[in-house]
A = this chain, B = another copy of it.
Amino acid sequence: MPDETPAADGGVPAPPPAVALGVFGHSVGFLVSQVGAATARHFKDALAELELEPRHFAVMRAIEAAHRQTQQLLAENLQIPASSMVALLDHLEARGLVARHLDPTDRRIRLVELTAAGHARLETAVRIAMGTESLICRGFDAEEREWLIARLQRVASNLGLAAGVHPGDGGSTGACGPAPTERPRRPPRA
């Protein structure tokens, strides 16, 4: 694969009609990243008509899967910081899609659940997700689609990804680093 650049034809300037990045357009890494970003954006745009973002969708699905969860557990499972979870749930609660109930045994805890409207909205969102799925899979038969899913699952496994957890964009400057001694981040207020 190292030789394929058309620059070896002498020294002709030869301005290409478009960018000659075809070589990397022929790699799994580039394609999966390009297609993944475009798919995410398509879904985001389609979901916007429900006043939801993909993370709201993920939160609602997680609540549906296990009713009356703690906010903290929810945040932990989805790998979202607790303070972001507050904002996400505020958004959903303001639209009447989820409800926060005080735990009678421990009044620090809020148990979260979907309302009837939340269930209905989630059903519509699932239909939108299926619409995105059928758009991007246009031209595939069922067997091909299953094959593709299996290969993508293997790639996910090669990357050490947890099933069903979408890491989003991750931290900008290597969010995984434990920062042994540096990263002053934010000085404590005086």
Write the residues of chain A forming the contact surface with B, with a CB cutoff of 8 angstroms: 1-2, 5, 7, 13-16, 18-22, 24-43, 45, 48, 58, 61-62, 64-68, 77-78, 126, 129-130, 132-133, 135-140, 144-145, 147-149, 151-156, 158-159, 161-170, 174, 176
Contacts and interface: CB of A to CB of B under 8 A. Distances in A.
A168 B7 CA distance: 27
Most buried by B among A22, A24, A42: A24
A32 B36 contact: yes
Contact of A39 (B22, B33, B61): B33
A15 B148 contact: no
A168 B40 CA distance: 11
Given A36-B35, A37-B170, A169-B169, A144 B152 contact: no
A161 B148 CA distance: 19
Nearest to A173: B48
A139 B154 contact: yes
Given A29-B39, A29-B132, 19 more contacts: A1-B130, A5-B64, A7-B64, A13-B67, A22-B163, A28-B133, A28-B152, A29-B129, A31-B149, A32-B39, A32-B152, A35-B159, A36-B39, A37-B169, A37-B170, A38-B161, A41-B169, A135-B159, A148-B148
